[in-house]
């Protein structure tokens, strides 16, 4: 049975149409199923794709993110690995250089740090240092964010670490539609891609056309038009932004919600155009504020749209403390809809 929170997120997802290339299809599917469909389609289309990871074989993954794929493709193309992130990513880089298109599933995004040397020192630089002779068509798939109060080792959202690195692409889909479309793009990309899903979104549902489509990197979605304030949000925070926007609309405050969909590349023109229209900018991010995605967007607006701003930029982020096992404490640390509503109101008051 879906929780109240999951029902609310599903409702906002299914109502989000602006800025998407959705067809007239009314087919609805789960976020987790969207990833399975994308991988199944691309593995059928391209025999060079193989998939390795922890528990992604017969068991179908910790989050059912590979359910049914092993039955079709077997051990030759879908194989379980030990818990060894450094080895997995190193193997993936080598296979990509040799002509394959590997997917490496690290399951929990927290443990990508075990392999960060391979990603930052090797995968991101090989195309450059080989003078374009070699490419690394590698997809790193992992799930971020805290659900069910999983504490400091299984709750991180530090995707912005990797948008700092030239040569890496970073996708953070918020909807079923974007999971399928962005993952297809990732699997056809010649560069290394970090494809980061949110654990709290896996069971949510939204529009999921059966027909072929892709979502290009670097093209954001305008989730809701508005005139008074621009609210930039990524991943799970998109649904919280939309809930907050609905509440504020009843108070006469019109909020424009923009979802970048990828943070590397990051489309700046849409953000700047929106800020120019509304005159106010709020950035909502589950990650910490310091040196993160929210800091980058704030710097962008300060450098290129300062004269357009009628109020200070506001960042709504996780508070700077380790993720907690205590439900009440963890809820306090992570941005909530109520907090978004309060801080947007404060921005409007100047």
Count of H-run helices and E-run strands, the chain? 13, 14
Which is nearest to 139 in space by CA: 180, 194, 86, 98? 194
Cα end-to-end distance, the chain, whole Å? 43
Structure tokens belonging to residue 170 = 């970073």
154 counts as catalytic: yes
> Angle at CA 229, nearest 5°, toward 228 and 232?
155
Q: Is 249 helix (H, G, I), strand (E, B) or coil?
A: helix
What does the alpha-carbon distance between residue 82 and residue 69 come to, in Å, rounded to a whole number? 19
Q: Write down the catalytic residue from 153, 154, 198, 323.
A: 154
Report whether 243 contacts 227 (CB < 8 A): no
> Angle at CA 273, nearest 5°, toward 159 and 194?
20
Task: Name the one residue in this structure whose structure tokens are 């005159």.
Answer: 279
Nearest-10 Cα torsion for 104, 106, 111, 115 = -10
CA of residue 230 relative to chain centroid, distance: 19
According to DSSP, the β-strands at 221-224 and 255-259 are antiparallel
CA distances (Å), 32 to each of 29, 173, 200, 217, in order?
A: 8, 11, 10, 20
Annotated catalytic residues are 154
């Amino acid at each position: 049975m879906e929780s109240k929170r999951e029902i609310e997120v599903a409702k906002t997802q299914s109502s989000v149409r602006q800025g998407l290339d959705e067809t007239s299809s009314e087919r609805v599917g789960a976020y987790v199923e969207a990833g399975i469909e994308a991988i199944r389609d691309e593995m059928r289309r391209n025999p060079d794709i193989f998939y390795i990871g922890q528990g992604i074989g017969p068991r179908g993954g910790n989050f059912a993110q590979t359910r049914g794929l092993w039955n079709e493709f077997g051990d030759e193309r879908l194989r379980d690995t030990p818990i060894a992130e450094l080895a997995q990513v190193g193997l993936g880089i080598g296979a990509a250089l040799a002509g394959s298109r590997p997917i490496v599933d690290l399951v929990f995004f927290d443990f990508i740090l075990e392999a960060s040397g391979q990603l930052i020192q090797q995968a991101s630089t090989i195309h450059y240092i080989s003078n374009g002779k070699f490419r690394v068509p590698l997809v790193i798939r992992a799930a971020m964010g805290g659900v069910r109060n999983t504490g400091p080792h299984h709750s991180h959202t530090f995707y912005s670490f990797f948008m700092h690195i030239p040569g890496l692409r970073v996708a953070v889909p918020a909807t079923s539609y974007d999971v399928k479309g962005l993952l297809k793009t990732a699997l056809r990309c010649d560069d290394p891609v970090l494809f980061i899903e949110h654990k709290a979104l896996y069971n949510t549902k939204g529009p999921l056309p059966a027909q072929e489509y892709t979502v290009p990197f670097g093209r954001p979605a305008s989730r809701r038009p508005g005139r008074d304030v621009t609210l930039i949000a990524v991943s799970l925070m998109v649904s919280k932004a939309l809930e907050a926007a609905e509440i504020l609309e009843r108070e006469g405050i019109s909020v424009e919600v923009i979802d970048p969909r990828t943070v590397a590349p990051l489309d700046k023109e849409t953000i700047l155009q929106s800020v120019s229209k509304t005159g106010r900018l709020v950035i909502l991010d589950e990650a910490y504020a310091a040196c993160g995605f929210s800091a980058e967007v704030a710097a962008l607006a300060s450098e290129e749209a300062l004269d357009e701003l009628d109020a200070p930029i506001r960042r709504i982020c996780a508070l700077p403390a380790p993720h907690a096992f205590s439900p009440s404490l963890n809820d306090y640390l992570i941005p909530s809809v109520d907090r978004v509503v309060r801080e947007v109101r404060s921005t409007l008051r100047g």
